[in-house]
Amino acid sequence: MKNKLTAIVAIGALTLAACGGVDRSGTRDKFIEDMEEIGGTADGDCIDAVFKNYSDDEIEALSDGGDDARSVELATDLLGCTDLGG
């Protein structure tokens, strides 16, 4: 279940800045767009609040498909910002 949850969020939902580091506002917008494409919605303010609790490295690890405890926690927190039952 945890790996499936991580995969759902990681697949295309987290976009990183090409020049290194994480583009948090771009990542938020991409996550919202991806949720809408699958018929869901996501709260941008909630996503921003979640991102404040994670480093760029942790966000990048999830986008790279990380399934360690911290990546799963981030994925779960992000899904909590959606109407998909997170």
* Span 47-66, pLDDT tens digits: 999 999 999 888 888 777 77
The answer to whether residue 31 is domain-embedded is: yes
The answer to whether residue 66 is domain-embedded is: yes
The answer to whether residue 85 is domain-embedded is: no
Q: Look up the pTM and report it.
A: 0.77
* Span 66-86, pLDDT tens digits: 778 888 888 889 888 988 765
Q: What is the pLDDT of residue 45?
A: 97
From residue 76, how far is each of 18, 33, 60, 62 by CA, in Å? 25, 18, 15, 11
The answer to whether residue 86 is domain-embedded is: no
Number of domains in the chain: 1
The answer to whether residue 26 is domain-embedded is: yes
**Domain membership of residue 69 as a residue range:** 2-79
Q: How confident is the model at residue 6 (pLDDT cuts 50, 70, 90)?
A: low
The answer to whether residue 84 is domain-embedded is: no
Q: How confident is the model at residue 4 (pLDDT cuts 50, 70, 90)?
A: low
